[in-house]
Chains A and B, each alone.
Chain A
Amino acid sequence: MNITILFFGMLAEETRTSVLELNTASLKLRDLENEVLNLFPVLKKLTYGIAVNEIIVQSNVKLSPGSKVAFLPPFAGG
């Protein structure tokens, strides 16, 4: 199925990507996250929160076709 991946802040910079359409066999968030980490190993050393369809999730939620998965970094500038 197709999933839209979004990167914000320095994550977009480090991956040189802000939006990515991914055709994936992953049905659950953790599998998809691992797939994304393999595509962009640079993410392994960064901190981020994940939102699925605009809701921050901590658990391994089920994905459905067209889900939007956003990676949000903390930043502190003021």
Chain B
Amino acid sequence: MLNDQEKYRYNRQLILDNVKEAGQERLKNSRVLVIGAGGLGCPVLLYLAGSGIGKIGIMDHDTVDESNLHRQVLYSTEDCGKSKARVAEKKLRAQNPFIEIEIYPYKLSAANARDIFKKYDLVIDGTDNFSARYIINDAAVLENKPVVYGALYKFEGQVAVFNYQNGPTYRCLFPEPPKQAPNCNEAGVLGVLPGIIGLYMANEALKICLGIGTILSGKIQIYNGLSAQLSTVQITKNNTLKIQAMQTDYETPGMSLCEFDNLKIQEIDSESFNELINTEATFLDVRETWELPKISSRGMIEIPLDQIENRVTEIPKDKQVIVFCKSGGRSKLAIHLLTKHFGFKNLYNLKEGIKNCQIPV
């Protein structure tokens, strides 16, 4: 039951004909899990909390970085370095004290997904890598939960509702993770795009909880922010796909900022890096050529990540090579690629990249 203060708080949506008090109570009784509290997750969370979804789960293992702030609207400068899930929880509690929030400040995995999904009616996929997206798809199918999906690439966004009332799933659209070689140059995104796509997602989530309108199931919408075009494509259910259990391995070569938990990558820290930079040691800079700061050292090789395969002969195999990028994601990918496909054994990753290093200019 809603108390008087709640009735007043939600008045503007409660007076809608197809919401009313009964609809608001449905929202209060709904349990929604938001995975990824980043560009997509932030707007979704703000509006679901504002609308009075009774229980919201927030799952994110990451911490706030200053480069998140132009689009991840839940966070402030002072939050940098703190757990996204914890900061989000605090902000949403202040925004709406009438809702329950549970946080999962750790990584989604094939092992933990199903148990967490069981506690919710609806799952929101606001993650940033294919591995998580396929884990979410499979766990949602096995637990029979609908998924509101959103994904971004530069100026383009995709939105869909999967596995809704036994409808098509993400695998009906893309049966397997992509085959493309790692391309982890963080793609770049205008701050508003995740806001736009996130609100499409929140709208679908609210309709599902309220049981009103037409759900974006069996379709994917593609919005292009540059051309302002919205395209809709129909997806039919592929009945030959049968998901019986979670896979043991969801690692994909095309993940965005992938973490290779089962490949042991040798790492060095920023302190050792600073000591080595003035020596004869060999370095491999996998950042784009325009990225700053420029780092000069006698043994510097500069090959952007997407050119590694074509220029592999420039990298020595007979001595230690320290591989680095801005924050350690792309360099890990480069090491993964070189180790797995070209037999390198002499590579060291600069942990968390050069952003933590004191670079002599």
Contact = CB atoms under 8 A, between A and B. Distances in A.
A78 B152 contact: yes
A77 B255 CA distance: 10
Contacts of B127: 76, 78
Interface in B128-171: 128-130, 133, 150-154, 156, 158
Contacts of A13: 154
A45 B235 CA distance: 23
A10 B178 CA distance: 12
B178 A74 contact: yes
Interface size class of A (residues with CB under 8 A): 20 to 34
Given A8-B222, A77-B152, A77-B256, A46 B173 contact: no
Nearest to B226: A18
B180 A77 contact: no
Contacts of B130: 74, 76
A6 B36 CA distance: 31
Interface string A29-55: 000000000000000011101010011
A28 B120 CA distance: 44
B126 A47 contact: no
Contact of B173 (A8, A10, A56, A77): A56
Nearest to B234: A55
Which of A54, A55, A76 gathers most chain B CB within 10 Å? A76
B42 to A, nearest CB: 10
A54 B179 contact: no
A10 B156 CA distance: 9
Contact of A75 (B152, B231, B235): B152
B181 interface: yes
A76 B129 contact: yes
Interface of B: 36, 38-41, 125-130, 133, 150-154, 156, 158, 172-174, 177-181, 187, 189, 194, 220, 222, 231-236, 238, 254-256
Interface of A: 8-10, 13, 45-47, 49, 51, 54-56, 58, 70, 72-78
